[in-house]
A and B are shown apart, each in its own frame.
Chain A
Amino acid sequence: MNVYVYDGTFEGLLSAVFEAYERRVFPDVLQAEGEMLPLFYDQLVTVTTDSTRAERVWRALQKKLSRAALGIVLSVWQSELPEAPALLFRYIRKAVDASRSPELDFGDDDVLRAAQIARRVAAERERVIQFVRFRKAADGTYFALIEPKYNVLASAVSYFRDRFADQLWLIYDCRRRFGYYYDLQDVREVAFREEDALCFSGKAADGLLAADERLFQQLWQTYFRSISIRERANPRLHRKELPVRFWKYLTEKQGKQ
């Protein structure tokens, strides 16, 4: 059994592909650094991440795959699922080996699985766009917290950049501890220290919020309650469309129900 250990980055993964083709030895197990090695193995290859090599693999993929399929590769990586790196390795290998792009061969387990994961990641990105709720701070910045299941905030930034181009905003991924801040010119990646992040998570103190922020929250909550038709109440559908994991930061789900 051959074990490849890489540094856990996307570049590292692409370098591992290069290394495998160079050695003509393909891994049975692909592991990030620091993970527990299996008890028995024949060969251990530690991949050094090399950006030129990674670039070459990516360029080869660009030749083989369509833009949509490259998007699938990136989405699967964003999913951060434990199975993702090995799945991507096999997917890339199939793409490199095949004479024509395998991206539409949904009879193949890996291709189908990658497409399915990509669809779920795209849905999560959509949910971020749907369920981000800005609160207006006293200094006029609109800020929002969210905890998406997959690492999709970066791909959703283009939407917020376009839509809210004339207001200052900050969106923070509380699970991965980073966010994006827009200063009317550019979007910057930001990260807060633990204690700073605390001061605006949860129930922000009234002093930090703009004067009319509470009123608009109340208005939205009132609207949310009155727009639903009691005779048609359907809690199951409600929870399916508006997953409970987002409720924590949803304005309409705060306050008295």
Chain B
Amino acid sequence: MNEAVLEKVRVLAESAKYDVSCASSGTSRAHRKGSVGSAAGWGICHSFAEDGRCISLLKIMLTNYCMYDCAYCINRRSNDIPRATLAVSELVELTMEFYRRNYIEGLFLSSGVVRNPDYTMERLVRIVKDLRRVHRFNGYIHLKSIPGASRELVREAGLYADRLSVNIEIPNEQSLKLLAPEKDFQSVFAPMRYIREGVLENEDDRRRFRYVPRFVPAGQSTQMIVGATADTDRDILCLASALYARPTMKRVYYSGFIPVNAYDSRLPALKQPPLVRENRLYQADWLMRFYDFKAEELVDDRFPDLDLEVDPKLAWALRHPECFPVDVNRADYEMLLRIPGVGVKSARMIAASRRYGRVGSMQLKKMGVVMKKAVYFIDCRELPVKTIQELRPERVRQLLLPKPKVKDDPRQLKFDF
């Protein structure tokens, strides 16, 4: 370890940062004698970068040399950027020392593809194996599975990693072919399948035998880039919901496209990354995972893209005025979840406390319901507000849109104090 590593860390972290995933959840492991560390099932973010994203794992690449030339990627081979490769000992020491200082939950290791996918994957697996076997590292390890890697290597990686992930990046195959000619869907979905099969087999084995090492206990995740191609939110969400339907897929991440290779004419010219759209997609993702919404309810043929002005739940409510107003004292929990302004926490509180007595609007407010939104969608006798039935959806939408900032009227006289 010396000063030269500083520069390598800088280069390789810069290269790794466009990968969004940083979760350290999904595995609970207590400390074992002779090993280092533990894993907390709920995930711990140890820091937050200046862009507000969490830093939970040491997200770094083994090397940023890459033989592929994907248009959306900063590490494509035709880019003139500083390149570096970490030695295995350096990477291991970094992980262990950071971990001991409570900087990180573990390691998120990824790599550019060198020579061929299997060669790269093998190097990654060897490092993870080293960490677990030689250095007895018991913390969290998230390993990127290289697209096109063989079944055997993915299977071996799964024995040491807590989570494996393969990035889809582009939600349909034609666009992927256009932007990344060396990749196809097959090379992405095959490792995903290997992981899934491995987990299912492992679950089966664990039922039958007493001591079976766990295989990828925290499941897999993937990532899609938003805004690099012409794909609609419908394509993205339908693919995401199909992925969630399969076992072991824990998270789909959406990454607003940042024009890292602005010179490439296949990519759209963007002034800013599509952060609002990315946010709406995450909201829709949450609705699918925790609020029991289907992808088809959020986006359909008439509205293939999510509304950028209002959140997807409110947009759904405005399209379905017939479901409202809801009586919070009687409605099912599932229906409570669908009221704009009511989240999982407040829906649970409402469902628990209405067994003791009537829940009124003051109490809703104190529980944390966003009354500004919810008033139009709930049946509340004590409020002098008209509901969506009387006001019509268009008017409610108008009332709930963020107000444009009022500019000073030039006719207004002012004193200069």
A interface list, Cβ under 8 A from B: 102, 104-109, 112, 126, 129-136, 142, 144, 159, 162-167, 212, 215-216, 218-220, 222-238, 240-242, 250-252
Contact = CB atoms under 8 A, between A and B. Distances in A.
Contact of B45 (A102, A219, A241, A251): A241
Given A135-B101, A232-B51, A106 B363 contact: yes
6 contacts: A112-B349, A165-B33, A212-B1, A219-B94, A226-B9, A226-B10
Contact of A166 (B36, B45, B103, B355): B36
Interface stretch (B12-20, B126-134, B281-289): B12-20
Where chain A touches its partner, the secondary structure class is helix
Contact of A132 (B5, B17, B102, B357): B102
Contacts of B44: 126, 129-130
Interface residues of B, number: 63
Nearest to A160: B102
A69 B146 CA distance: 47
Given A164-B100, A229-B17, A130 B45 contact: yes
A215 B257 CA distance: 34
Contact of A229 (B18, B55, B355, B367): B18
A229 to B, nearest CB: 5
Interface of B: 1-3, 5-6, 9-11, 13-14, 16-18, 30-31, 33-38, 40, 44-55, 58-60, 94, 97-98, 100-103, 256, 258, 272-273, 275, 349-350, 352-360, 363, 366-367
A241 B47 CA distance: 8
Contacts, number: 160
A250 to B, nearest CB: 7
A104 B17 contact: no
A170 to B, nearest CB: 13
B94 A233 contact: no
B124 to A, nearest CB: 19
A106 B13 contact: no
A45 to B, nearest CB: 32
B51 A238 contact: yes
Contacts of A251: 101, 103
Nearest to B59: A227
Contacts of A112: 349, 363, 366-367
Given A106-B352, A144-B102, A241 B52 contact: yes
Contacts of A105: 352-353, 356-357
A231 B262 CA distance: 13
Given A107-B359, A132-B102, A163-B37, A252 B272 contact: no
Contacts of B359: 107
Contacts of B18: 229
